[in-house]
Chain A
Amino acid sequence: MEMYRQISKNKYKTVLFLLLFIALIVTVTFAFSYNYSPDTAYSFTLIAFIIALAGSSFTYYYSDKLLLKMANAHPVSKEKDPYLYHTVEGVALAAGLPVPQAYVIETDIPNAFATGRNPQNSAVAVTRGLLNIMNREELEGVIAHEMSHIKNYDILYSSIAIVLAGTLVYLSSIMRRSLFFGGGRNRGRNNKSNPIILAVGLVAIIIAPLIARVIQMAMSRGREYLADATAARILGYPLGLASALDKLAKYNNPRQAQEEGFVNEATAGLFIVNPLTKNLNVDSLFSTHPPLERRVSLLRDM
Chain B
Amino acid sequence: MWIALAIAGAIILFLIFTYNRLILLKNAVKNSWATIDTQLQRRYDLIPNLVETVKGYIAHEKGVFEAITQARTAFMNAGSVKETAQAENMMAGALKTLFAVSENYPDLKASQNFMMLQEELAGTENKISYARQRYNNSVMDYNVAIQRFPTNIIAGFFNFRESDFFEVDNEEARKPVKVKF
Contacts and interface: CB of A to CB of B under 8 A. Distances in A.
A93 interface: yes
B57 interface: no
A96 B137 CA distance: 11
A93 B31 CA distance: 12
Contacts of B127: 90, 93
Contact of B126 (A86, A234, A235): A86
Nearest to B32: A96
Given A86-B126, A90-B126, A234 B32 contact: no
Given A93-B35, A96-B32, A234 B134 contact: yes
A164 to B, nearest CB: 27
Interface residues of A, number: 11
B interface bracket (residues with beta carbon within 8 Å of A)? 10 to 19
Interface in A157-177: none
B14 interface: no
B123 A234 contact: no
Contacts of A235: 133
A94 B130 contact: yes
A94 B131 contact: yes
A233 interface: yes
Contacts of B118: none
Nearest to A93: B130
Interface string A92-114: 01111000000000000000000
B151 interface: no
Nearest to A136: B126
Contacts of A93: 35, 127, 130-131, 134
B53 interface: no
Interface of B: 28, 31-32, 35, 123, 126-127, 130-131, 133-134, 136-138
Given A93-B130, A235-B133, 20 more contacts: A90-B126, A90-B127, A90-B130, A91-B130, A93-B35, A93-B131, A94-B130, A94-B131, A94-B133, A94-B134, A95-B134, A96-B28, A96-B32, A96-B134, A233-B137, A234-B133, A234-B137, A236-B133, A236-B136, A236-B137
